[in-house]
Chain A
């Protein structure tokens, strides 16, 4: 059995009196597409910050790619890719410059980087706009480029924070096909979304409520357990009971 891609035990983070993440214990298997859902303020971002080595937990344990989040945060950062909805590319650099910049940060040798740049540009059909500022690209293209950059250094896990927010329905689906593709190559995908239909594309999902992980399983299992026709119904059943979000 390979190590799980992510493993947590009673992972907790407090900010003063406030417990943002409350004793969560779960595992994500290698190569899995794992959907990380929760209402606004449920603690998703805090949990993701801990798993990406950016925030030290208050208590509990977590290992990402077998590495300890307390002691091996730097090693974790080298092993993972991360893409956020809000900021992932430099608008005032071209597509090519963005790829080159991130490749440099991850220490990819020049020769390898040049061939990777060509590969990304070709696979995304960006040839004509390779030397145009990213600012001028449509949002959907930017998001596909940002995703390719997040996996440029062959990470074992990629974290995607709302990658498809506001993207048109066709491009949104093309994006998910990319997710399937990298998952097929063995990369673990950890993704958050507000589109409940996208939750159904995941192998397994978890739903956070008030800092706790109140449900985890395959979409089919959750629908059966909560006697719901869709993940949206499951989500609403769980999140309607949330105490947070008030105020």
Chain B
């Protein structure tokens, strides 16, 4: 078995809204695969098709070598699913939640304890606490333990880090790297572009369509324009100046720098500096920088937008 998930030209409509538009991709055995896109991109719909809870309107979905529509009964016991909103029973304790999920899948905590131990052991001192009284980071760890307790072949994590602070996000990704070493195939979705770098391959998704699928490195390598990072004393004035510059292709604030590309691809630095000086900007600094996933995502979005208006 090489491909754990094989999605082929899948479309899904909700009334007049096409949530997914001819989506195709494959996830290989043991891979950590990211689905990266903003709210409303279609990530949850895609996950629900893979986990057999939704039936695609067009196209086919094969999961663990079975047809997701016809063979859902065989597929479900082999899946671990962590939905975006917490899946825990708030009025059961930590331990009761884990026991419940184990029993639903016909197993016990003891049987698969080794797999969940590194995560669940952090929660054991609170095992008599109600799940509803846990902090966000701890709930997330418990939800992951519950999704893993039956030792699934494929783990589906729908936005596990949304709304979670930077420290808990980091810890969560460390847990995923560890599970990957156990050989579990993981598909994870996130709206945080910077998390793409923690996946082996990613699909960038926007408005129900896949913009690009590749390794994070290959995606940023395919960014064709020269990217400049520009900084000035007044960022707002700098943004306005760059936007009204005749050569500007994209102008996007990125932390302390503004990321900037020109229409021709390779900018004339002297002309640009002169222009900014004439606009009265002070302490201007310009340097070439490497694009990141978010630059690529925005470039792909912009290209798609121009295509649609052409």
Contacts and interface: CB of A to CB of B under 8 A. Distances in A.
B301 interface: yes
Nearest to A44: B165
Given A139-B39, A180-B235, A200 B138 contact: no
A2 interface: no
Interface in B198-245: 206, 235-236, 239
A166 B38 contact: yes
B119 interface: no
B304 to A, nearest CB: 11
A169 B136 contact: no
A245 interface: yes
Contact of B294 (A139, A169, A239, A244): A169
A21 interface: no
B166 interface: yes
Contact of A177 (B191, B193, B253): B253
Given A40-B165, A239-B165, A184 B236 contact: yes
A235 B168 CA distance: 12
A171 to B, nearest CB: 8
Nearest to A136: B17
Contacts of B255: 197, 200-201, 230-231
B253 A194 contact: no
B88 to A, nearest CB: 15
B165 A39 contact: yes
Nearest to A85: B163
A138 B166 CA distance: 26
A240 interface: yes
Given A173-B252, A173-B253, A181-B236, A165 B135 contact: no
B206 A194 contact: no
A40 B301 contact: no
B236 A245 contact: no
Contact of B168 (A40, A170, A183): A40
Given A177-B253, A181-B236, A230-B255, A165 B134 contact: no
B121 interface: no
A16 interface: no
A128 interface: no
Interface of B: 37-41, 125-126, 129, 134-138, 162-168, 170, 191-193, 206, 235-236, 239, 252-256, 294, 297-298, 301-302
The 10 closest A-B pairs by CB, nearest first: A168-B38, A166-B39, A200-B255, A180-B236, A39-B165, A40-B136, A197-B255, A239-B167, A247-B126, A139-B39
Interface of A: 38-41, 138-140, 162, 165-171, 173, 176-177, 180-181, 183-184, 194-197, 200-201, 219-220, 230-232, 235-236, 239-240, 242, 244-247
Given A39-B166, A169-B294, A170-B302, 5 more contacts: A40-B164, A194-B165, A219-B256, A231-B255, A246-B135
25 contacts: A38-B165, A39-B168, A40-B135, A40-B137, A40-B163, A40-B168, A139-B39, A168-B38, A176-B253, A180-B239, A194-B163, A194-B164, A196-B166, A197-B254, A200-B256, A201-B235, A219-B256, A230-B255, A231-B255, A232-B166, A239-B165, A240-B167, A244-B135, A245-B138, A246-B138
